[in-house]
Amino acid sequence: MASTEKPAAKAASPSSVSGTVESQDSAQHRYAWWVVVVLTLALLVSFIDRQIVALVVEPLREDLGINDTQVGWLYGGFAIFYALAGLPIAVLADRKSRRLIITIGIVSWSIMTVACGLSRNFAQLLLARIGVGVGEATLGPSTHSLVGDYFPRHLIPRAMSVFQLGAVIGTGIAFLVGGIVVELVKNSPPVDAGIFGALMPWQLTFIYVGAPGVLVALLMLTVREPARKASTVPSGFAWSDLAPLKQFYLDNWRTIIAHHLGFTSLALVGWAFVFWTPTYFTRIHDVSAGDASQLFGLIYIIAGPAGTLWAPYMAELFHRRGRQDAIILGGMLGGAAVIPFIFLIQLAPSALWAWIFYVPAVFFLNAPFGLANGALPVIAPAHMRAQIAAIYAVVGALFGMGIGPPIAGAINDYLFTGPEGVRYSIMLMSGVFGPLGLGLLWWGRPHYARSLARAEAAG
C-alpha cells in the first residue's frame, strides 16, 4: 500500500536566505535613494520659486515704486516666516506623516508664488512672499527626519549633500529659465487676466514658474512613510516633551553655537552675493538682466553641484584619516576658498573677467551647506532630528536669508549710493561675515568631534 505521508518541505538553505535578505536590502537601499531624488526635486522647485524675485528687481522697483531696501525685505519677510513656521511644523514632522506635510507644503508654496504674480502693490507682494516662506518651511525639517530613518548614520551626510543639490540646481534653473522668461516677456504688453486685471511682464514671470510646482507634489505619492528609528514617538504634544531637546542643546551647546552661527555667517555672504548678482551685472557692466541671469544660471547648474558633491568627498577623506571633525573641516574648505573669488568678481575690469571668476566662486560657495545640514542628523537622536533641523533653519533663515539681502540693499541705499554701490556692499559683507563664520567653525571643531563620539557611543 502506498504511503500517504506528505514529503517534508525542504528547509531553506542558509545561502538562499542570505541571498533573499541581501536582495531586500539592495531594493530598500535603491528605494531610499529614490526618496532622496524626489525630495531633491521638491527642494529644486522651492528654490526656483524662492529665487525668482532676484530676476525682476528692476522692473519690480519701477512698477511698484520701491527702493533696494524694500526689495531686500521681499526676501527678508519670506525668511522670517519661513523660520517661525519651521518650529511648529518640525514638532508635527517628529510625530505625524512627513510625506503628507511635504505634499501640502509644495502645493501651498506653488499657489503663493502664483499669488506673487497677481500682487498689485508692495504689501500684497510681501504677504504672498511670506506665504511662500510658510509653505517651504515644511520641507527641511521633514526631510532631515525622513533621511535619518531611511539611511544608516554613516550615509546621512552624503544623502543630505545630494538633497542640497536641489537648492543648487534649483537656484541655477531659477536664473537660467527665469532669465529666458524675463527676456521673452520684457517687451511684451500687459496681459489682460480678466478679474485680475492687466498683468505686467514681471508678474507673468512669477506665474509661469509657480504653476508647475504642483506636479512635483504628485511625485510625493511615490514616497512611503518609513518606520521611525526612535523607540518611542509621542502622538501628541506637551511642553515636557521638549525636555530631551533642551538637554541635548545643553550637552552640546558649544557644538551648536559654532555650527549654527558659523555656517549661518557663511550663508549670509552667499545669500547676499547670489541675490544681487543680476543687479550687479546690470548696474556695473551694463548687461541685461535676462542675459546676466541666463549665464549665471548656466554656471550655477554646472559648478554648483560639483562643489556640493566635492565637499562630502573631502569630509569622507578626512574621516578615513581619523578626523572626527571631518564634516566641519569639509565645510570650512569651501567657505575659505569662496571669499577671495567674491572680491575678484567685484573688482573685475570687465564682464568677461567677472564671469570667469564666477565659476570657482559658485563651486566653492555651495560646498559648505550640504555638510552643514548633514552634520546635524549624525549627532542628533532620531526622535528630535526634525526639531533640531528646524532650530537651525530658524537661525539660518533669520540671520542668513533674513538679513543678508536686506542689509546689502540698505548699504546700497544709504552707505555706498549710486550704481557702483552694489559691488562695495557685497565686498563689505563678505569681508566681515566670511571670516567670522570660519572662525566660529574652527573653534567648534573639537566640540563637534566630542558630540559625534557621544552619539556613536549611544548607538
* 3 state DSSP class of 294: helix
Residue 3 lies in a domain: no
CA dist list (Å): 117 to 193, 202, 211, 277: 11, 7, 11, 22
CA gap 133, 268 in Å, rounded: 17
Cβ contact 417:300 at 8 Å: no
Q: Which cell numbers hold the place of 147?
A: 533621511
| Total domains, the chain | 1
Residue 13 lies in a domain: no
Strand partners, 192: 198
Cβ contact 430:274 at 8 Å: no
pLDDT at position 459? 64
Sign for the pseudo-dihedral over CA of 221, 223, 229, 230: negative
**Burial of residue 186, with CB atoms counted within 10 A of its CB: 0-12 exposed, 13-18 middle, 19 or more buried:** middle
For residue 42, give its domain range. Answer: 32-220+243-457
Residue 405 lies in a domain: yes
Residue 190 lies in a domain: yes
Cβ contact 162:366 at 8 Å: no
Cβ contact 435:246 at 8 Å: no
User: What value, to the nearest 5°, has the Cα angle with vertex 417 and ends 412 and 422?
Assistant: 40
pLDDT at position 232? 46
- Residue 171's nearest CA partner among 58, 331, 304, 264 is 304
CATH of the domain at 331: 1.20.1250.20
User: What value, to the nearest 5°, has the Cα angle with vertex 303 and ends 368 and 136?
Assistant: 60
Residue 235 lies in a domain: no
Nearest 5°: phi and psi at 318?
Answer: -60, -40
Q: What is the DSSP letter of 5?
A: P
CA dist list (Å): 141 to 92, 193, 258, 283: 10, 37, 20, 38
Residue 18 lies in a domain: no
Residue 6 lies in a domain: no
Q: What is the DSSP letter of 144?
A: H
CA gap 288, 237 in Å, rounded: 52
Strand partners, 199: 191
CA gap 115, 297 in Å, rounded: 24
CA dist list (Å): 273 to 296, 298, 428: 12, 16, 11
User: What value, to the nearest 5°, has the Cα angle with vertex 261 and ends 341 and 139?
Assistant: 90
170 backbone φψ class: left, alpha, beta (φ>0; ψ -120 to 50) = alpha
Average pLDDT by stretches of 10, the chain with 459 residues: 48 53 71 91 87 78 83 82 86 86 94 92 92 92 87 82 82 77 69 79 84 87 81 50 83 94 91 81 84 86 89 88 89 93 93 93 89 86 80 80 74 78 87 94 94 84
Residue 5 lies in a domain: no
Cβ contact 404:80 at 8 Å: no
Q: Identify the residue whose cell numbers are 520659486.
A: 49
Q: Please give the single-letter amino acid code of residue 99.
A: R
